[in-house]
């Protein structure tokens, strides 16, 4: 049984990794939606005033910037781990 994880189907491992990333992203979206709502929405009404709308736009833009930074960082970490593993196996 030992080492079974290393012999698992690479396509399955890739699928699981992608699904995990999707789940983390959905959690971030949910969390950020909650944060932006609490931060920007004073009184729910039939229309957004310009201040509330600007707050939501700014909040979402910061979220996108932050998400992009995190995704880039994760990709960089994955590449570094891959090259580290390749070096260790030589």
Kindly give the confidence (pLDDT) of every residue in the chain, 90 residues in length, as a single tens digit, with 9 standing for 90 and above. 444 555 678 889 989 999 998 998 899 889 888 989 999 998 888 888 999 999 999 998 998 898 889 889 989 988 888 765 555 555
Tokens of 72: 């880039």
Give the C-alpha separation, 5 to 1, whole Å. 9
């Amino acid at each position: 049984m030992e080492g079974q994880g290393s012999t698992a189907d690479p396509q399955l491992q890739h699928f699981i990794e992608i699904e995990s990333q999707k789940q983390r992203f959905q959690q971030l979206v949910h969390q950020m939606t909650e944060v932006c709502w609490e931060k920007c929405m004073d009184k729910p009404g039939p229309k957004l005033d310009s201040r509330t709308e600007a707050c939501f736009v700014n909040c979402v833009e910061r979220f996108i910037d932050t998400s992009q930074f995190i995704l880039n960082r994760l990709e960089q970490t994955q590449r570094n781990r891959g090259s580290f593993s390749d070096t260790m196996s030589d």
